[in-house]
Amino acid sequence: MTETASEIAVLRAALAAAEVRASAAEGALVAAKGELTQVQAIVSASEDMIRHLRLQIAKLRREQYGQSAERHARLIEQLEMQLEDIETDIADDRGKAEATGPGAMVSAFERRRPTRKPFPEHLPRERVVIEAPAACTCCGSARIVKMGEDITETLEVIPRQWKVVQTVREKFTCRDCEKISQPPAPFHPTPRGWAGPNLLAMVLFEKFGQHQPLNRQAERYAKEGVEISLSTLADQVGACAVALQPIHDLIRAHVLGAERLHADDTTVPLLAKGGTKTARLWTYLRDDRPFRGGAPPAALYHFSTDRRKEHPTRHLAGWTGILQADAYGGYNDLYCHDHKPAPVRSALCWSHARRKFFELADVKATARKGRSVAEEISPVALEAVRRFDTIFDVEREINGLTAEARHDARQRLVRPMVSDLRDWLRSERARMSKHNSVAKAINYMFEEDDRWEAFTRFLDDGRICLTNNSAERSLRGVALGRKAWLFAGSPRGGERAAFMYSLIVTARMNDVDPQAWLADVLARLADTPLSRLPELLPWNWTQAPQRMAA
């Protein structure tokens, strides 16, 4: 029995020692898991920081230089998708790190909370004071004194308010001659006007600036308690177009007074018998900001039911200068030697030329189509895109300099690269079949004898831009609007849309709120003599302080 008891004691001691070792091992395992979780959290936070910085750099470059290449938009889109995933992973890692214990969090994992920007100072403030306590919350004493206050600001919006302005004209009669005296009736921007200038400007901007058709506006107004028929709104839009004609004429004269124009066109569905047909909206843009010109920017739009070359010839009748556009043959009559008063000189867009190579080297589009990258991606196209991008990089650096500085920089930096690109493209084309897709992209730049000369005209004139992206940006709103208004109801409706686009886009190019500008112009047109109409143009317009307060 004594030996048995001794053996039991030894076994118990061994068991206790084993439990101690197991407990120590378990503690070490938990500590290791905690350290691993912390390391994973730190890595996730570091990756998040890297992606945040890359996304911020890409967006800053896009804001500074514009959407100059398709790859930038693709890069930002891809970074945002990756950022969404990595932030989700970080939230998962944070939860795991917190579950391991209170000491598991590390300073490197803590992300700095973003600071909220203060609300604009010009917004009115409404103070809502919470009722102060009448006695001390601790001891109940009534001897409490205010020592300060904390203010929490919340941004709020007041729904749109409608009102009816009653203009009273009192009548007076003379006791001597019995003649009646009365002040004249107030001016209305439109004949038989019942709508104020702010309401008219809102309708115009919603329709042509925000692409909200009149029927949708009428439905929204009815829900707000103000029923306005569609025909009444349409009547006011047409009357406003007539009233604003003098302003449009001044913008047209300003645009056609330029020595260099950007030109482009886009499709517009036009309602026709039995369906729709494809019409065109043309834009002619004056923008001297890239070479620090003094003339303010402006845009002129035209509408046509087709894309025949007679339209740009009519739009630019009597104009001569440098036309930056794509290689559309409809402009050829303007380049003829017999064009009056002088032939227009062509400056072709390098973005169009680069895009043809980019489409052949677009890995993402190829993968989306389910094709093999090795079979579809052309090494020549990739190299062409790389060479194009080196030229584009230099052009971004000199954007905004004077014409003389741009010309000097192009002679030193860009001309050698353009010469090398020409020789390389020709040598590559000589080794390809004429049916090769890359050869067709190369032929776009050498298809005609003067095509390459038009592409390289920017080298000898600092006013010319490398691309026609300015005109394409001016048509971006039309492309978005097509999804909202679906089609133009008639040719006259298309012409009216082009008319209003000229006003609204010009205001936007001069950093002017189109709706506020239209409202002020409609209110002041009647009292402004013809000689002072230029004061109402967007680049000369200043809103009176009393109108801004209203």
* pLDDT tops 70 at residue 59: no
Structure confidence at residue 114 (pLDDT): 57
Q: In this predicted structure, what is the pLDDT of residue 89?
A: 57
CA-wise closest residue to 343 among 361, 356, 325, 331: 331
CB 452 within 8 A of CB 411: no
The rounded distance, in Å, linking the Cα atoms of 201 and 204 is 5
Residue 288 lies in a domain: no
pLDDT at 106: 42
Q: How confident is the model at residue 543 (pLDDT cuts 50, 70, 90)?
A: low
Q: Is the pLDDT of residue 338 over 60?
A: yes
* Residue where one domain finishes, among candidates 65, 92, 109: 109
Domain that holds residue 29: 2-109
User: For position 157, what pLDDT does the model report?
Assistant: 84
- pLDDT higher than threshold 60 for residue 316: yes
Domain end: 461, 483, 503, which one? 461
Domain assignment present for residue 225? The answer is no
* pLDDT classification of 546: cutoffs 50, 70, 90: very low
pLDDT mean over 13-24: 72
Cis peptide leading into residue 183 (ω within 30°): no
What's the chain's average pLDDT? 82
pLDDT for 96 equals 58
Q: What is the 3-state secondary structure (H, E, C) of 219-266?
A: HHHHHCCCCCCHHHHHHHHHHHHHHCHHHHHHHHHHHHCCCEEEEEEE
Cα–Cα distances in angstroms (integers) from residue 258 to residues 387, 453, 534, in the given order: 32, 22, 17
d(CA 205, CA 199): 10
Whether residue 215 is predicted with pLDDT greater than 70 in this model: the reply is yes
What's the number of domains the chain is made of?
Answer: 2
Greater confidence (64 vs 414) lies with 414
Q: Does position 27 have pLDDT exceeding 90, yes or no?
A: no
Query: Among candidates 288, 283, 345, which has minimal Cα distance to 504?
Result: 283
> How much is the pLDDT for 420?
96
26 located within any domain = yes
pLDDT for 177 beyond 60: yes
| 385-405 pLDDT, tens digit each | 999 999 999 999 999 999 999
pLDDT, average across residues 454-467: 95
14 has a pLDDT exceeding 80: no
Q: Determine the Cα–Cα distance for residues 85 and 66; give it in Å rounded to an integer.
A: 27
Is residue 445 predicted with pLDDT exceeding 50? Answer: yes
Q: How many helices (H) and strands (E) does the chain have?
A: 21, 7
Residue with the bigger pLDDT between 36 and 336: it is 336
21-30, 308-317, 346-355: least confident range: 21-30
More confident residue, 99 or 283: 283
Asked whether residue 368 is domain-assigned, the answer is: yes
**Structure token digits, residue 523:** 């209110």
Q: How confident is the model at residue 45 (pLDDT cuts 50, 70, 90)?
A: low
Quick one: pLDDT at residue 142?
A: 86
The pLDDT of residue 340: 87
Residue 527 belongs to a domain: no
- Greater pLDDT, 256 or 3: 256
| Mean pLDDT value of segment 318-342 | 92
Domain termination site, one of 399, 426, 461? 461
More confident residue, 546 or 468: 468
Phi, psi of 279 (to 5 degrees): -100, -175
Predicted confidence (pLDDT) per residue in 479-527, tens digit = 776 665 555 667 888 899 999 999 999 999 999 999 999 999 999 998 8
Q: Is the pLDDT of residue 116 over 60?
A: yes
Q: Which residues pair with 41 in a beta bridge?
A: none
Read off the pLDDT of each residue in 438-465 and give the average, rounded to a whole number: 90
Q: Model-level pTM?
A: 0.75
DSSP state of 158: P
pLDDT of residue 155: 87
291 found inside a domain: no
Does any domain span residue 526? no
Q: Which amino acid is at 357?
A: F
Mean pLDDT of 450-459: 92
| Secondary structure of residue 284 in the 3-state scheme | strand
Residue 10 lies in a domain: yes
Q: What angle do CA 516, 518, 522 make, to 5 degrees?
A: 120
